[in-house]
Amino acid sequence: MKVALDVLARHYDAIAPTYDAGGVEHNETMWRHTSTNVVCNDADIDHDDVVLDLGCGTGNVARTLAPHVRRVVGVDCSARMLDRARLGAPKNCEWVWGDLRQPPKVEGLTIITANYALHHLDREELRTIWRWAQRVLPPGGKLVIGDLLYSVPPEQVEGIEGWMDPALGEYHSAWALMKELEEHGFQAVLKVLHPVIGNLTAMRL
């Protein structure tokens, strides 16, 4: 299912003020924070890296990586989420309003990150992202994803009610995406954080 950009923007504009307020005591937020940390760690950055963060939201990934890389560009469709990302952000961060399905051109790009953003895309849209990433990354460049990716079918997992709004996105199979990334010229490694949360680090061959 393809979700219209204005629907996503309206949803995230509305929740932007409280998006980062949920503490780790809230199960869902705790897993999102864990995934953020895994994405930042597995990006395995270098000070020369140039990062594009897809669906950057309030900038949790971008702002963590920025002090250790040359430049970070965050793209998001929610102006209110971007307003929060801008607050106190390092000088080498740039924020772009737009659709991550038509990502901005970033000179010297070496790493693409996407934390909890790609579940808003359907499989066809994801395949377009893999093709684009394969084209724009240099060999050795990385696509690092953390998201609601299942290794156990969600209907068999307890305690995840409300984690996915079916009007806004869908669970994807972590193993199926890993296979697809390999078919698109990446070497991919999957980390299963939870039965429905996974991190994929895909290196462009």
Ligand X SMILES: C[S@@+](CC[C@H](N)C(=O)[O-])C[C@H]1O[C@@H](n2cnc3c(N)ncnc32)[C@H](O)[C@@H]1O
Where do contacts with ligand X occur on this chain (CB under 6 A)?
A: 5, 8, 12, 36, 55-57, 60-61, 75-78, 81, 99-101, 115-117, 120
Q: How far is the CB of 91 from ligand X (least distance, A)?
A: 21
Cβ closest to ligand X, residue 5 vs residue 185: 5
CB of 205 to ligand X, least distance (A): 26
Using the minimum distance from each CB to ligand X, give the nearer residue, 164 or 185.
164
Residue nearest to ligand X (CB): 57
Residues 6+ apart with CB under 8 A from 69: 45, 46, 47, 48, 49, 50, 51, 92, 111
With beta carbons less than 8 A apart as the criterion, state whether 74 and 64 touch.
no
Q: How far is the CB of 5 from ligand X (least distance, A)?
A: 6
Closest approach, Cβ 86 to ligand X, in A, equals 13
Looking at the Cβ atoms of 79 and 176, the one nearer to ligand X is: 79
> Given phi > 0 = left and psi -120 to 50 = alpha, else beta, which region is 20?
alpha
- Residue pair 104/51 in contact (Cβ under 8 Å)? The answer is no
| d(C-alpha 118, C-alpha 115), whole Å | 7
